[in-house]
Structure 1
Amino acid sequence: MNMTEQAPPSLDLTSGQKKSLRSLGHHLEPVVHVGKEGFSPALLKSMDAALKAHELIKIKLGQNCPVERNAAGPELARMSGAALVQVIGRMILLFRPNPELSQGKRIVV
């Protein structure tokens, strides 16, 4: 997805669902890193691929990231059509269900 395309609507999660996802995401390593280029088309493509493969991903904002960390989480969630689960410091946790994943790999919230 490039930045000019219309992003799918973001998901709304209950507080209980967010709590469950936070516990699942606690031990995850970041799979996407945002650097000095900010929200580039390459970043959005890798984030989309990671969400398709894992449903729940952790994103790390680098020191040189031009986007304010408090604004980055909601913006990344909006652009990817994912739900913002948590922002702690420079770490962002996003969730987007993928019905195409096998039952054993899907996250049920």
Structure 2
Amino acid sequence: MHIKDRKVWRARAEALAKQKKLIRVQVGQLGITPAFLRATSDVLQKHGLVRVKLGEGCGLDRANAADVLERYLDAVCVHQIGFTITLYRRQGLPRPSNTQPLNEAQREQAAAEAAAAEAEAAAAAAEAAERRAAKKRAGQQKPQQRPPEFSVL
């Protein structure tokens, strides 16, 4: 990409950022994972511009991260500053082959893990509701019983 084109896309990204319309994604402690690449690729496919923030624990420096993201996302780095990289990819381009969706076995495994996590969360919620109900029952008065402050009357 020519330097003039980069300047145009950088200016457009800054304008979107001022309007709070530029999509931001953050690289976490695990670094650049396949899930991160898929999510960022989807954002680039839809919006064309994305700002990537490198988190504290990701262990990557900005220049290397920009090179990796450009290569894997088929995008162009239009701006780098601090721990932030702004990427551009023309809208409508197909998803790069290295970030293809999960295959069938991986989808089934992810669905099974999600179902197990959902069941565990439901069990924890039911247990918490039971504890709240038990606390409420313990604090209630028995029929025909007055509160202690009225027992002297």
Same fold flag (TM > 0.5): yes
Q: Post-superposition shift, 1:70?
A: 1.9
Which residue in the other structure is 1:106 paired with?
A: none
Please identify which structure carries the higher helix content. 2
Q: Post-superposition shift, 1:38?
A: 0.4
Distance 1:99-1:30 versus aligned 2 partners, 3 A rule: closer
* Equivalent position to 2:48, from 46, 55, 74: 55
Moved over 3 A (4+): none
Q: Post-superposition shift, 1:16?
A: 0.5
Amino acid at match of 2:31: G
1:25 aligns with 2:13: yes
Point out where structure 1 has 5 or more consecutive residues left out of the alignment. Answer: 1-12, 101-109
Q: Post-superposition shift, 1:66?
A: 1.4
Q: Looking at both structures, which has the greater relative contact order when contacts are Cα pairs under 8 Å and sequence separation is at least 6?
A: 1
Which residue in the other structure is 1:78 paired with?
A: 71
RMSD: 1.4
Please identify which structure carries the higher strand content. 1
| Percent of aligned pairs sharing the same letter | 31
Q: Which SS does the other structure have where 2:90 is aligned?
A: coil
Pair member with larger Rg: 2
Amino acid at match of 2:26: H
Q: Distance in 2 between matches of 1:53 and 1:77?
A: 17
Which residue in the other structure is 1:97 paired with?
A: 90
Point out where structure 2 has 5 or more consecutive residues left out of the alignment. Answer: 94-153
Amino acid at match of 1:50: V
TM-score, with length taken from structure 2 = 0.54
Q: Distance in 2 between matches of 1:80 and 1:62?
A: 19
